[in-house]
């Protein structure tokens, strides 16, 4: 009987907390909506990543990204010329790279936590918005934050703890716009608990039939003079994408 | 009929949605610093450290064109090698094929194609379906047909039939012939009689392979078998595993069709030492990449054990007897050449890490190590080494590369080979130190 009362109290408290911070949605549902505010579940997009060091352009990459939720991500570099044709395949926390110019004819397995082609983004950051599958999330509060172009915005703050050691970051903290669950900012933490990187989602415009952020600015705490900016040029939802695209056989073809 | 039907299918799983053409034009000069004799006279007056071994221009292009339900892929290199004789123009088709997808899960390939094999970096013990790599044609495929079925993104099964083992003329169509051991066995006449000959029925010389790849969490497993009548039966299995940023890999293969020959009592009486007796080949390796403010660093190390088809004692007999015989005939003391000729052409298909150089089929224990460091995207330094642990010889290839966003690169690389004596594998190379300097324009 005592356990029953205790259980009821916990349920009521959870419901209260959820209503207070997340407007009747669980933390997982909020983050899921935030993921969908950036990308659809299956998509093809053209994007650019530009890395600046002390304000000077250090590198510039054009790429095509294909993503299918719960299946994988495939990236093909289109520029610079010397990287044209280099492809990456990421699935279940694993990453392979294939360079048709290298001559080996072989895909090489890489660590998904390493830097993506020398940018501030890690391999996992590019085109893989699966916070809900990689982190155990909970709502931790509500804040008013200053957003470029929108002024002060009411945001739900969600924290996620990595579900396993393969995930790029030990902990993430997300700021999600309360009115429509659009993700505004994320902070990534190292195993030590120290903040590692910050990404800001800005320049909202219509992509794949919805208002979405089109610019992701990634800053690193240990490389303070460097910033990598991903600009999404085209984003198309593609629900008919075949799983076979996300195989090693297709990667080397 | 099947092709026509496939071409009409909707492009449901076409990977590339557009056509693309990219590649590079490279010009380089290779000098010998020590040893060796000039194969070509100097060009353009450049001979700073020794005699120029080669110099020329190489155009490499990759073209991919998609159509409804499939794609056409061509990876080709056109080279001009300069010299006093006016130069030599050659073409090397690495891959050229048509891929069609009659179903989203099924892809059929006809033409010259390479299977991406295993998880290794330098050694691929079970891979007898792809031709051995060579410096001139590093990613060459085989002529044949392939069918790949992928019921999910985590499981693929590929079946392949290779034609050019039965019809060698196919390989010469595009000037892409390479040998596994770097020496033509038929150049040793007294051995030629004992080497395998092409059978009367070429259909018996077709080579078959089955390759399955499965992903379980962060464990990638694969299993494969290669078979050719009376010549090859080599099942293999391997893995790669991400151990918190360190990638571990391994592969073990067993050759059941042991076709090696060895002398029974003298250099004129040969037989199979262990016909029907399997011998193992395996490799294990680790790879780690570290990224910091200053740049990124990667280290790869891999060990290979090659059973070779005969015991160490038999090998001693082979080398001892044949060395004596060859010395008597030609005065040469090239033990390694004997071993290379002695092993079957497919005894080792391993490729030297990243450089694509050929590992000759002698030596049981090898280590390949590669180090690379890059600062941003502008500068990269790499060094790859291959060590024959059995005889203590090694080859090292350091390389420096400077890149610009415009697609221009300057590079210089050296190949340094050393052996404790002239019977050792790398101590036998005619040019112990070569330096190649060049420029590449990517497009």
Task: Say whether B322 sits in a helix, a strand or coil.
Answer: helix
CA distance A79 to chain B (A): 9
For A203-226, the pLDDT digits (tens) are 999 999 999 999 999 998 887 888
Give the one of A103, A251, A252 whose C-beta lies nearest to B138's C-beta: A103
Residues B146, A250: Cα–Cα separation, whole Å: 13
- Restricting to B residues 109-168, those with a Cβ less than 8 Å away from any Cβ of A are 114, 116-119, 121, 130, 133, 138-141, 148, 150-154, 156, 158
- Give the DSSP H/E element, type plus range, for residue A18: helix A2-22
| Contact present, A21 and A122 (Cβ < 8 Å) | no
Q: Which residues of A touch B140 (CB under 8 A)?
A: 105
Q: Which residue of A has its CA nearest to B138?
A: A103
For B44-56, the pLDDT digits (tens) are 333 333 455 678 8
pLDDT of residue B194: 44
The residue count of chain B comes to: 443
Please name which of B262, B65, B243, B302 lies closest in space to residue A113, comparing C-alpha atoms: B243
Q: Which residue of B has its CA nearest to A96?
A: B119
Residues B154, A94: Cα–Cα separation, whole Å: 11
For B266-287, the pLDDT digits (tens) are 545 556 655 557 889 999 999 9
CA distance A168 to chain B (A): 10
| pLDDT tier for residue B200 given thresholds of 50, 70 and 90 | low
Residue A188 has φ and ψ, to the nearest 5°, of -110, 140
Q: Is the Cα torsion angle A65, A66, A68, A71 positive or negative in sign? A: negative
In order of A106, B238, B244, the CA distances from B221 in angstroms are 16, 6, 18
Q: pTM (2 decimals)?
A: 0.79
Q: Residue B191 half-sphere exposure, CB side, CA atoms within 13 Å?
A: 26
| Contact present, B95 and B114 (Cβ < 8 Å) | yes
In order of A241, B36, B125, B127, B258, the CA distances from B347 in angstroms are 42, 28, 9, 11, 9
Torsion of CA B178, B183, B189, B193, to 10 degrees: -60
Please name which of B208, B214, B32, B44 lies closest in space to residue B129, comparing C-alpha atoms: B208
**Is the pLDDT at B164 greater than 80, yes or no?**
yes
**Is the pLDDT at B353 greater than 60, yes or no?**
no
Q: Which residues of A touch B247 (CB under 8 A)?
A: 109-111
Residue A58 has φ and ψ, to the nearest 5°, of -95, -40
Q: Which residue of B has its CA nearest to A52?
A: B376
| Lowest-confidence segment of A16-20, A44-48, A166-170, A180-184 by average pLDDT | A16-20
pLDDT of residue B252: 97
Whether B295 sits inside 8 A of A81 (CB atoms) is no
Whether A93 sits inside 8 A of B242 (CB atoms) is yes
**Is the pLDDT at B174 greater than 70, yes or no?**
no
**Is the pLDDT at B128 greater than 50, yes or no?**
yes
For A53-105, the pLDDT digits (tens) are 888 888 899 999 999 988 999 999 998 998 899 999 988 778 899 998 887 77
| Lowest-confidence segment of B62-66, B176-180, B362-366 by average pLDDT | B176-180
In order of B181, B274, B278, B282, B345, the CA distances from B234 in angstroms are 19, 15, 9, 12, 14
In order of A93, B43, B191, B255, B265, the CA distances from B271 in angstroms are 51, 49, 12, 18, 10
| Structural domains for chain A | 25-64+115-237 (2.50.20.10)
Residues B165, B198: Cα–Cα separation, whole Å: 9
CA B78 to chain CA mean position, Å? 19
| Lowest-confidence segment of A90-94, A197-201, B228-232, B355-359 by average pLDDT | B355-359
- Restricting to B residues 202-241, those with a Cβ less than 8 Å away from any Cβ of A are 213, 215, 217-218, 220, 240
- Which two three-digit tokens encode residue B167? 């019809």
Q: What is the mean pLDDT of residues B366-393?
A: 89
Please name which of B423, B419, B281, B266 lies closest in space to residue B344, comparing C-alpha atoms: B281
**Is the pLDDT at A15 greater than 60, yes or no?**
no
pLDDT of residue B422: 64
CA distance A158 to chain B (A): 26
Comparing B196 with A120, the larger pLDDT belongs to: A120
Q: What is the mean pLDDT of residues B253-264?
A: 74
Comparing B391 with B357, the larger pLDDT belongs to: B391
Task: For chain B, give the longest Cα–Cα distance.
Answer: 68
């Amino acid at each position: 009987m005592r356990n029953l009362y205790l259980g009821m109290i916990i349920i009521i408290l959870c419901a209260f907390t959820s209503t207070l911070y997340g407007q009747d949605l669980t933390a997982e549902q909020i983050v899921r909506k935030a993921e969908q505010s950036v990308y659809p579940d299956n998509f093809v997009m053209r994007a650019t990543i530009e890395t600046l060091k002390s304000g000077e352009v250090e590198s510039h990459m054009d790429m095509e990204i294909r993503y299918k939720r719960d299946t994988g991500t495939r990236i093909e570099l289109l520029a610079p010329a010397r990287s044209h044709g280099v492809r990456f395949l990421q699935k279940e926390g694993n990453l392979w790279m294939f360079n048709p110019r290298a001559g080996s004819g072989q895909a090489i397995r890489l660590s998904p936590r390493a830097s993506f082609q020398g940018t501030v983004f890690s391999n996992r950051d590019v085109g893989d918005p699966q916070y809900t599958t990689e982190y155990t999330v909970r709502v931790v509060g509500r804040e008013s934050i200053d957003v470029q172009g929108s002024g002060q915005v009411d945001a739900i703050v969600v924290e996620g703890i990595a579900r396993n050691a393969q995930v790029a970051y030990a902990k993430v903290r997300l700021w999600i716009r309360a009115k429509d669950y659009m993700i505004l900012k994320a902070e990534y933490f190292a195993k030590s608990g120290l903040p590692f990187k910050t990404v800001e989602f800005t320049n909202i415009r219509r992509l794949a039939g919805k208002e979405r952020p089109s610019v992701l600015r990634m800053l690193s705490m240990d490389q303070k003079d460097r910033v990598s900016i991903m600009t999404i040029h085209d984003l198309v939802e593609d629900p008919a994408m075949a799983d076979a695209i996300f195989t090693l056989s297709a990667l080397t073809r | 009929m099947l092709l026509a039907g496939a071409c009409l299918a909707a492009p449901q799983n076409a990977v590339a949605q557009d056509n693309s053409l990219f590649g590079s034009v490279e010009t380089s000069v290779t000098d010998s610093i020590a040893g060796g004799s000039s194969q070509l006279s100097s060009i353009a007056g450049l001979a700073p450290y020794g005699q120029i071994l080669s110099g020329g221009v190489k155009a490499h292009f990759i073209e991919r064109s998609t159509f409804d339900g499939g794609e056409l892929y061509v990876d080709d290199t056109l080279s001009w090698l300069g010299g006093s004789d006016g130069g030599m123009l050659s073409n090397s088709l690495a891959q050229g094929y048509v891929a069609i997808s009659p179903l989203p899960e099924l892809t059929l390939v006809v033409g010259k194609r390479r299977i991406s094999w295993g998880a290794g970096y330098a050694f691929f013990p079970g891979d007898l379906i792809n031709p051995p790599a060579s410096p001139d044609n590093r990613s060459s495929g085989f002529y044949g047909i392939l069918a790949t079925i992928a019921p999910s993104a985590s499981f693929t099964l590929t079946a392949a039939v290779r034609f050019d083992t039965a019809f060698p003329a196919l390989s010469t169509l595009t000037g892409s012939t390479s040998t596994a051991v770097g020496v033509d066995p038929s150049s040793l006449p007294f051995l030629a009689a004992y080497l395998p000959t092409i059978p009367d029925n070429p259909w018996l010389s077709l080579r078959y392979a089955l390759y399955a790849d499965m992903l379980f969490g962060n464990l990638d497993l694969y299993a494969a078998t290669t078979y050719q009548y009376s010549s090859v039966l080599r099942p293999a299995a391997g893995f790669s595993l991400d151990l918190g940023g360190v990638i571990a890999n391994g592969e073990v293969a067993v050759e059941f069709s042991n076709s090696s020959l060895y002398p029974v009592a003298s250099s004129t009486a040969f037989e199979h030492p262990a016909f029907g007796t399997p011998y193992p080949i395996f490799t294990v390796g680790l790879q780690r990449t570290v990224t910091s403010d200053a740049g990124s660093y990667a280290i790869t190390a891999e060990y290979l054990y090659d059973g070779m088809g005969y015991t160490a004692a038999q090998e001693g007999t082979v080398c001892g007897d044949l060395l004596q015989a060859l010395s008597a005939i030609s005065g040469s003391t090239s033990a390694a050449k004997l071993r290379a000729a002695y092993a079957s052409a497919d005894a080792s298909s391993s490729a030297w890490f990243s450089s694509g150089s050929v590992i000759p089929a002698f030596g049981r224990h090898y280590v390949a190590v590669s180090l690379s460091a890059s600062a941003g995207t502008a500068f990269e330094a790499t060094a790859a080494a291959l060590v024959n642990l059995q005889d203590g010889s090694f080859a090292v290839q350091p390389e420096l590369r400077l890149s610009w966003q415009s697609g221009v690169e300057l590079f210089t690389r050296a190949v340094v080979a050393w052996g404790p004596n002239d019977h050792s594998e790398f101590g036998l190379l005619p040019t112990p130190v070569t330096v190649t300097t060049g420029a590449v324009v990517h497009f």
